[in-house]
A = this chain, B = another copy of it.
């Protein structure tokens, strides 16, 4: 598949660029916000496109054009305020869904957050972020896309282990970003994940096997 990776410059995104670029099965088009980011990718031999999630849907549609799948791992991050959370994490995600629908691209993988579907389990400090993720996930689930919503626990920068736990509800846990990226990769073609949403944390099951047993 030719995959549009939205949020390619993020921490999980950078792992995914490498995984997709080195894969025999897939090719990647990396969507980034800035020209400099595109240049860095170009130097690595990775196709990239500059587009802004705060722009209009047509801009994102143009990025989706020619792709077979979309991965959304963009986020406004912790250093900006909730304005950007609303504009990027919520409305930006909804625009990506609309762009995929417009271009007839069915496959859509979203990186969400652990328990984003359960308000009772939202971390008080991150509550506004969870609101945005929750309603973005709602938009995806209400769409006709062949979606997978992956909700990772607390993100760690340590190296991945290749082993995870996946389930509709894992009330707490953390996971290396590298393993989130690998889970996204494995989910891309695993039909057991189609039109499914699930939590993922570090665990004891090899990733492809864990997804096959979802």
Binding site for B on A (CB under 8 A): 56-57, 81-83, 85-87, 90-91, 94, 119-120, 127-128, 131-132, 134-135, 138-139, 142
Checking B56, B128, B142 against A83 with a beta-carbon cut-off of 8 angstroms, the contacting residue is B128
A105: min CB distance to chain B, Å:
20
10 closest pairs, A vs B, by CB?
A: A82-B82, A86-B128, A86-B131, A83-B128, A82-B83, A91-B131, A135-B135, A82-B86, A90-B131, A87-B128
Known: A138-B139, A142-B142. A132 touches B81 (CB 8 A): no
Known: A81-B82, A82-B82, A142-B142. A87 touches B56 (CB 8 A): no
**Can you list 19 A-B pairs with a CB-CB distance of less than 8 A?**
A56-B119, A56-B120, A57-B119, A81-B81, A81-B82, A81-B83, A82-B85, A85-B86, A86-B128, A86-B131, A86-B132, A87-B131, A90-B135, A91-B131, A91-B134, A94-B135, A135-B135, A135-B139, A142-B142
